[in-house]
Amino acid sequence: MITPTRWLLHLENHLPVARKGDDPEGVHQVRVAGRRLRVWLELGGYQVLHDDLRWLVRGAGKVRDLEVMLHSPLPKSLAAWLAEKLQAAREELTPMLDSPRLMGLTRALHNLPPLPISEAEKRLERFERRVQKREATWNATRSFEDLHALRRALRRLRYAREYLEQDVEDLKALQEALGQLNDAEVALRHLEEFEAAGGRAAPSYRKLLETQREKGLAAARELLVKG
């Protein structure tokens, strides 16, 4: 039988850290746990609680993306602007972490029965088909948006296989390469928003992000070809 206990406790243990806000790992682990719990629901064929977990993951994601950027070398003006955005994102997240909705979500997850392994194995095919579909779409378009969709599908497949105690080393390497690419993409989007608001950053900083994006894309392409 497969239970969500490990990741549900992981979520509950990191919620106080995320509320306190002085350790970025708190919000990061809340998002990780939320994503893994969504995969467990899908393995079980559950139609409930997906929206609640998506709500939590997205709220944590806004904070996490900004925290990641602020832990890298930045132009001072951009760093100050991002710090303001981070403060606003934290102010949005804190009421979520104290809300009855989140309390109800964790209680409901505790009450769901464990999954028979045989049923979860049958549903694993859905995760594999999704990856194949996303990869075919990306091969046709080569767009960053479709590559991001492929990255999400690969992450879900990895988590599903881990629940079933299957090997995921190949998926980890690919997920890491795509994660680095996504970090560069997120940083470029924030830079564009900053500049649209009247901010200015040295052209060399944009060039650095674009170089990181291209390196991540090249690494991802190589791993996808090998796969």
Go through 125-152 and write b for each residue having 16 or more CB atoms within 10 A of its CB, e for each that does not.
eebeebbeebbebbeeeeebebbbbbbb
In this structure, the answer to whether residues 83 and 125 fall within a common structural domain is no
Same domain, 158 and 54: no
Question: pLDDT tens for residues 109-150?
Answer: 999 999 999 999 999 999 999 999 999 998 899 888 888 899
Kindly state the DSSP code that residue 198 receives in the 8-state scheme: T
Cβ atoms of 63 and 89 closer than 8 Å: yes
Per-residue pLDDT tens over the stretch 174-197: 888 888 888 888 899 999 999 999
Residue 107 and residue 195 in one domain: no
pLDDT bracket for residue 21 (50, 70, 90): confident
Q: Which of 80, 115, 150 is the last residue of a domain?
A: 115
Domain count, the chain: 2
Half-sphere exposure of 85 (CA within 13 A, CB side): 21
Same domain (yes/no): 56, 158: no
Residue 227 has a pLDDT of 60
Q: Note whether 122 and 12 are same-domain residues.
A: no
* Of 173, 181, 187, the residue nearest 145 (C-alpha): 181
Of 74, 35, 69, the C-alpha closest to 55 is 35
The answer on pLDDT for 226 being more than 80 is no
Using left for φ > 0, alpha for ψ between -120 and 50, and beta otherwise, residue 21 falls in left
**Residues ≥6 apart with Cβ < 8 Å to 83:** 70
What's 46's domain CATH number?
A: 1.20.120
| DSSP label of 2 | B
Residue 30 and residue 132 share a domain: no
Last residue within a domain, chosen from 115, 150, 180: 115
**How many C-alpha atoms does 120 have within 13 Å on its Cβ side?**
22
- Chain centroid to CA 30: how far? 10
Output phi, psi for 116, to 5 deg.
Answer: -65, 135
Tokens linked to 138: 């990306």
Cβ pair 30, 18 in contact under 8 A: yes
103 with 16, same domain: the answer is: yes
Structure confidence by residue, pLDDT tens digits, 27-84: 999 999 999 999 999 999 998 999 999 999 999 999 999 999 999 899 999 999 999 9
Question: In which region does residue 201 sit, left (phi positive, over 0), alpha (psi from -120 to 50) or beta (all else)?
Answer: beta
User: Percentage helix, strand, coil, to 5, in the chain?
Assistant: 85, 0, 15
Domain containing 172 equals 116-227
* Mean pLDDT computed over 153-163: 96
**7 and 99 share a domain?**
yes
Measured between alpha carbons, how far is 18 from 24 in angstroms, rounded to an integer? 7
Terminal alpha carbon distance of the chain:
30
Q: Residue 94: what residue type?
A: T
